[in-house]
Chain A
């Protein structure tokens, strides 16, 4: 158990819908990262937050957004969902910007 929690574990929704994925980092970790894992794109970095502020952006679509709250949990919002958004979405956390990143168990999103 990495100490990073993600909910829900599985999510099935229809095209055009909007969903919210939630992540709680390990105790004491200030940085939260979101990643997407799909068969065709592999593992891709989406976005990073540090202590409530956006710090780095990767291959995140405009239809996707994220935020980190004062209690340091983070949410990833995915809207106008398409079939190609079906993937495993991971959250990871670290103390700062150096060293290990620990991953949560992931949320498997299926868009039908």
Chain B
């Protein structure tokens, strides 16, 4: 079974509109972390936002917010007031056993297949 599912392979959105990118995850761990990354056509992976499973508040970073619904196992990324520069691939990722080992940590990230977001003027 896939651990991270992104059901939207591609999305077209008008500039200045809000965007929600869907992500559901599957884990039996109690302690895990959820991540969103942006990959523009130039190829680099840009960290956007992080949510720990025990964090009570939804994470926010500028125009990005993470709508974390633990019972539904969903971690959707919301981009407010989209801009042309937001056009890119967006990846949702999870790390299980978050902080399982003191200092050294648990594991690498498991990524979804991504959503290709295109912002239209």
Residue ranges of A at the interface with B (Cβ–Cβ < 8 Å): 2, 30-31, 33, 35, 42-48, 50-51, 53, 55-56, 58, 88, 90, 92, 94, 96-103, 105-106, 108
Among listed B19-27, B75-83, B98-106, interface-contacting one: B98-106
Q: What is the bound-complex CA distance between A88 and B99, given in angstroms?
A: 28
Q: What is the bound-complex CA distance between A68 and B104, given in angstroms?
A: 13
In the complex, the chain A residue whose C-beta lies closest to that of B31 is A98
Q: What is the bound-complex CA distance between A31 and B93, given in angstroms?
A: 18
Cβ contact within 8 Å between A102 and B47: yes
Known contacts A98-B98, A103-B44: A35-B105 contact under CB 8 Å:
no
Cβ contact within 8 Å between B50 and A48: no
The DSSP consensus for interface residues of chain B is loop
The DSSP consensus for interface residues of chain A is strand
A43, A58, A94 — most chain B CB neighbours (10 Å): A43
Cβ contact within 8 Å between B50 and A45: no
Cβ contact within 8 Å between A50 and B104: yes
Q: What is the bound-complex CA distance between A64 and B104, given in angstroms?
A: 22
Q: What is the bound-complex CA distance between A99 and B32, given in angstroms?
A: 10
Cβ contact within 8 Å between A56 and B108: yes
Cβ contact within 8 Å between A101 and B104: no
Q: What is the bound-complex CA distance between A99 and B105, given in angstroms?
A: 10
In the assembled complex, B91 has its CB within 8 A of some CB on chain A: yes
Which residue in B37, B50, B98, B113 is a CB contact (below 8 Å) of A97?
B98
Cβ contact within 8 Å between A55 and B99: no
Q: What is the bound-complex CA distance between A45 and B96, given in angstroms?
A: 13
Cβ contact within 8 Å between A45 and B108: yes
> Which residues on B sit within 8 Å (CB–CB) of A53?
104
Known contacts A35-B108, A45-B108: A98-B45 contact under CB 8 Å:
no
Cβ contact within 8 Å between A33 and B108: yes
6 residue pairs bridging A and B, Cβ less than 8 Å apart: A2-B46, A46-B108, A51-B103, A96-B104, A100-B50, A105-B43
In the assembled complex, B11 has its CB within 8 A of some CB on chain A: no
Q: What is the bound-complex CA distance between A42 and B106, given in angstroms?
A: 21
Q: What is the bound-complex CA distance between A44 and B109, given in angstroms?
A: 8
Cβ contact within 8 Å between B50 and A55: no
